[in-house]
């Protein structure tokens, strides 16, 4: 194959592979979020996905802002540890 043909071929396949990779990782992330305890999951989704402020979440859920912060901190620690395990697994399989 000529270099120009390789370039065209790679231009066509890389986005498809990347989309599959992104989709797989997003599904994994969704599963991690869904495995959070119910209230922690709700706080995480309200803040990170819906854009609610800490104060808005606290008022809505009738909890303190400090509790919102705690839920988010623990959620992020859990998500980070689960993602790290996935990355470590990917690296050992490569």
Q: Is the pLDDT of residue 12 over 70?
A: no
Residue 52 has pLDDT above 70, yes or no: yes
Helix (H) / strand (E) element for 58: namely helix 54-61
Task: Give dist(CA 53, CA 57) in Å, integer.
Answer: 6
Please tell me the pTM assigned to this model. Answer: 0.69
Rounded to the nearest 5°, which phi and psi values hold at 48?
Answer: -80, -30
Burial (Cβ within 10 Å: 0-12, 13-18, ≥19) of residue 79? middle
**The pLDDT of residue 18:** 58
Would the pLDDT of 6 be above 50?
no
Cα 84 off chain centre by: 12
What domains lie within the chain, and their CATH numbers?
3-93 (1.10.10.10)
């Amino acid at each position: 194959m000529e270099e120009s043909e390789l370039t065209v071929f790679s231009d066509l396949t890389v986005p498809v592979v990347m989309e599959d990779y992104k989709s797989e990782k997003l599904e994994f992330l969704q599963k991690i979020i869904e495995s959070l305890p119910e209230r922690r999951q709700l706080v995480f989704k309200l803040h990170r996905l819906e854009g609610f402020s800490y104060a808005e979440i606290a008022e809505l859920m009738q909890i303190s802002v400090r509790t919102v912060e705690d839920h988010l901190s623990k959620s992020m620690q859990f998500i980070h540890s689960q993602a790290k395990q996935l990355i470590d697994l990917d690296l050992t399989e490569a």
